Amino acid sequence: MTAPIPKSLFVALEHVAHLAAGGEAPVLRSHVDAAARFLFDKGAGMPGRDRFFVVVQQARERLAGLLGGRADEVSFLAHASEGLFVASEGIDWRPGDNVVVEQSEYPSVLQAWQRLRARGIEVRSVGETPVVPHAELAAAVDGRTRVVAVSHVSYLTGARHDLAALRRLADRVGARLVVDASHALGVVPVDGPLCDVVVSCCYKWLFGVHGAGVFYVNGQRWPGLQPPWVGWHSAEREEDWRRRTAYRLRVGPERFEAGNPPFLSLYVLENARRSIADVATATGPAIEAHVLALGGELRQGLVKLGLPVLTPEAAEFRAGNIVFATDRSEELEERLRAAGVLTWSGDGRLRISVHGYNDEGDVARVLDTLARLHAA
């Protein structure tokens, strides 16, 4: 099974099985040149600054392509958590309203809504098990539900939600669908038009770095969403702006960006998306098909070892993360790393992430190492 993304594009993958993209993805060699381009542009005065915004627009267009939306629907904030905060502030809340989330969600997705309890908002954290059946979410939704908030792919279990089913559920009561796609975007399709808001980090499956978060607002479903802040970049620059006592927000995606976009991070992100597009179609079947097939082999191997796998078997309900429960995850991660296998631990589970650069040799290496450790 040939990997659609060559390992030679990355730094330091020669001697390790890097199965930790769900935590920190490996670094593209060309990122060094991308960072240098930014630094040279920064030192070039006004022409260099003009090039900053060309790169920002290119990044908007590529992310819009991944999401199936438009470039004017994509903003860049500091991180995914900031986008969740903006979405939570965009609702006209009334005491007695509720938000439906999974109990096993990532802290950012939970906490963005939990802080609203002081306003009389009920946060319904559902799930008897780590992988929450759709029926349990549906049972929690009623006429006072204003938001259904989920991670498209769970950081904890690797389970993938059916966004179309969630859209139907939200529409049943006129609720917003807010999706964190941090463990989906770049490896499996994320249908932005089905969502009201999509947020994502960039340093995992997108091969970016910290400092930039994707904030997609569906212009058809939520055209009136406004930012909870204002700054020079988000307001119209009018001739007499110093004398005005009021301001007008820009109508495009810049209205959510109060100050300078994270230029250096976006140079790196744009380089990553361009580089991957040169070798694989990230929105098409190449990466997704490879990841699902390889992940299926990995999951099957873990089951054969007798490990308590949390990730669903069906390909349509998983993505790149394959996870099993263990109360010794930190010890396992450390011992695997000593054997040249990078994984991710914590929260009572070990997460093994398969991306487009991984191959059958990586899967065999982690399974063989786990078998030896399991026997010992």
> What's the farthest any 2 CA atoms get from each other in the chain?
75
Whether 245 shows a pLDDT value over 90: the answer reads no
Bridge partners, 214 (sequence order): 76, 200
Q: What is the pLDDT of residue 285?
A: 60
Give CA separation, 303 vs 53, 296, 321, in Å.
49, 11, 15
Place 27 in a pLDDT band, splitting at 50, 70 and 90: very high
- Mean pLDDT of the residues in the chain: 95
- Give the residue-averaged pLDDT of 74-87: 98
Q: What is the pLDDT of residue 246?
A: 82
Distances 206 to 21, 97, 130, 266, 314 between C-alpha atoms, Å: 9, 35, 26, 12, 24
Please check the confidence at residue 333 and state whether its pLDDT lies above 80.
Answer: yes
Instruction: Give the pLDDT band (50/70/90) at residue 158.
Output: very high
Taken in order of first residue, the domains within the chain and their CATH numbers are: 7-27+282-375 (3.90.1150.10), 33-278 (3.40.640.10)
Give this prediction's pTM.
0.95
Instruction: Quickly state the pLDDT bin for 149 (edges 50, 70, 90).
Output: very high
Q: 281 falls in which pLDDT band (50, 70, 90)?
A: low
Mean pLDDT of 328-346: 97
Q: How far apart are CA 356 and CA 38, in angstroms?
A: 27
Q: What is the average per-residue pLDDT within 323-331?
A: 97
Share of the chain above pLDDT 70, in %: 98
Give the confidence band of 280 by pLDDT, cuts at 50, 70, 90. low
- Asked whether the predicted pLDDT for residue 77 surpasses 50, the reply is yes
Predicted confidence at residue 278, as pLDDT, reads: 84
Q: How far is CA 338 from the centre of its chain?
A: 28
The CA distance from 369 to 100, in Å, is: 40
Mean local confidence (pLDDT), 195-216: 98
**Whose CA is closest to 96, among 136, 139, 141, 145?**
145
The whole-number pLDDT of residue 283 equals 42
